[in-house]
Amino acid sequence: MKRSIDPVSVGLKVWTVAMLAFLCIPIVIVVAWSFNTANFLVFWETWGLRWWRTAFDNESLRDSVRTSFVVAALSTVIAVVIGGFGGIALARRPGRWVVPFLVLLFLVLVTPEIVDAISYLLWFTRLRLDDGLLRLAISHSVFGSAIIAFVVRARLAGLDNSIEDAAADLGATPTRTLRTIILPLAAPGLFAGALLSFTMSLDNVIVSSFVKTTDTVTFPVYALGSLRTGGPKGDLAVAGTMFLMLTLVSLFTATYALRRAGGSSREIVGALAAE
Amino acid sequence: MRRRPAWLLSIPAWIWYVTWFVIPVGIIVMYSFGRRGVIANGETDNVILTNLSFDRYSEALRAPFGTLLRLTLETAAIGTAICFVIAVPAAYAMATKLGPRARMVALALVIIPFWTSFLLRTYAWTILLASRGVLSEELQDRGLRDTPIELLGTRTAVQIGVVYNYLPLMVFPLFVAFDRLEPSLREAARDLGAGRLRTFLGVTLPLSAAGVTSGLLLVFVPLMGDFVTAEVLGKAQGTMIGQSIYGQFLDSGNWALGSAMSVLLIGLIAATVGCFALALRLSLLAFHSSRDLRLPRQAA
B92-97, long-range: CB < 8 A, 24+ apart: B92/A12, B92/B174, B92/B178, B92/B200, B92/B204, B93/A9, B93/A12, B93/A13, B93/A15, B93/A16, B94/A16, B94/B171, B94/B175, B94/B178, B95/B175, B95/B178, B95/B179, B95/B181, B96/B178, B96/B183, B97/A9, B97/A12, B97/A13
Is A138 an interface residue toward B (CB < 8 Å)?
Answer: yes
Give the start-to-end residue ranges of the domains of chain B: 67-289
* pLDDT for the residue A234: 80
- Residue that wins the pLDDT comparison between B50 and A202: A202
For residue A173, the chain B residues in CB contact (below 8 A) are 2
Confidence (pTM): 0.84
Say yes or no for a CB contact (<8 Å) between A273 and B115.
no
Give me the architecture of the B67-289 domain, per CATH: Orthogonal Bundle (1.10)
DSSP string across chain A = ------HHHHHHHHHHHHHHHHHHHHHHHHHHHTTB-SSBTTS---B-SHHHHHGGG-HHHHHHHHHHHHHHHHHHHHHHHHHHHHHHHHHSS--TTHHHHHHHHHHHHHS-HHHHHHHHHHHHHHHT---HHHHHHHHHHHHHHHHHHHHHHHHHTT--THHHHHHHHTT--HHHHIIIIIHHHHHHHHHHHHHHHHHHHHH--HHHHHH-BTTB--HHHHHHHHHHSS--BHHHHHHHHHHHHHHHHHHHHHHHHHHHTT--HHHHHHHHTT-
Average pLDDT, chain B: 82
pLDDT, tens only, A96-111 = 888 888 889 888 888 8
Q: For residue B300, what pLDDT band results from cuts at 50, 70 and 90?
A: very low
* pLDDT for the residue A275: 39
pLDDT, tens only, B205-251 = 888 888 888 889 889 988 998 888 888 888 666 678 888 888 888 87
- Residue that wins the pLDDT comparison between A72 and B65: A72
For residue A43, the chain B residues in CB contact (below 8 A) are 132-133
- Residue that wins the pLDDT comparison between A184 and A251: A184
Q: For residue B297, what pLDDT band results from cuts at 50, 70 and 90?
A: low
Q: What is the percent of chain B where pLDDT is above 70?
A: 87
pLDDT, tens only, B263-285 = 999 888 889 888 888 888 887 77
Which domains are delineated in chain A?
58-272 (1.10.3720.10)
Say yes or no for a CB contact (<8 Å) between B115 and A247.
yes
* Whether pLDDT at B186 is above 90: no
Average pLDDT, chain A: 84
* pLDDT for the residue A182: 83
Say yes or no for a CB contact (<8 Å) between A123 and B23.
yes
* pLDDT for the residue B25: 93
For residue A89, the chain B residues in CB contact (below 8 A) are 6-10, 13
Nearest-Cα residue of chain A relative to residue B260? A115
* pLDDT for the residue B237: 60
- Least confident piece of the model among A77-91, A192-206, B192-206: B192-206
The arithmetic mean of pLDDT across residues B117-128, rounded, is 86
**DSSP H helices in chain B:** 11-17, 23-31, 55-61, 65-96, 100-114, 118-129, 134-141, 155-180, 183-191, 196-199, 205-207, 209-225, 228-233, 241-250, 255-289
* Whether pLDDT at A274 is above 50: no
Is A181 an interface residue toward B (CB < 8 Å)?
Answer: no
Q: For residue A192, what pLDDT band results from cuts at 50, 70 and 90?
A: confident
ipTM for this prediction: 0.83
* pLDDT for the residue B9: 82
Say yes or no for a CB contact (<8 Å) between B112 and A232.
no
pLDDT, tens only, A7-50 = 888 999 999 999 999 999 989 988 888 888 887 777 777 788 88
* pLDDT for the residue B10: 85
Say yes or no for a CB contact (<8 Å) between A13 and B107.
no
Convert B93-111 to b/e letters by CB count within 10 Å (16 or more is b).
bbbbbbeeeebbebbbbbb
Distances (CA, A) of B9 to A80, A217, A258, B4, B205: 13, 34, 25, 9, 39
State the CB neighbour count (10 A cutoff) for residue A9. Answer: 13
pLDDT, tens only, A206-261 = 999 999 888 899 999 998 888 877 677 788 888 888 888 887 887 777 777 766 66
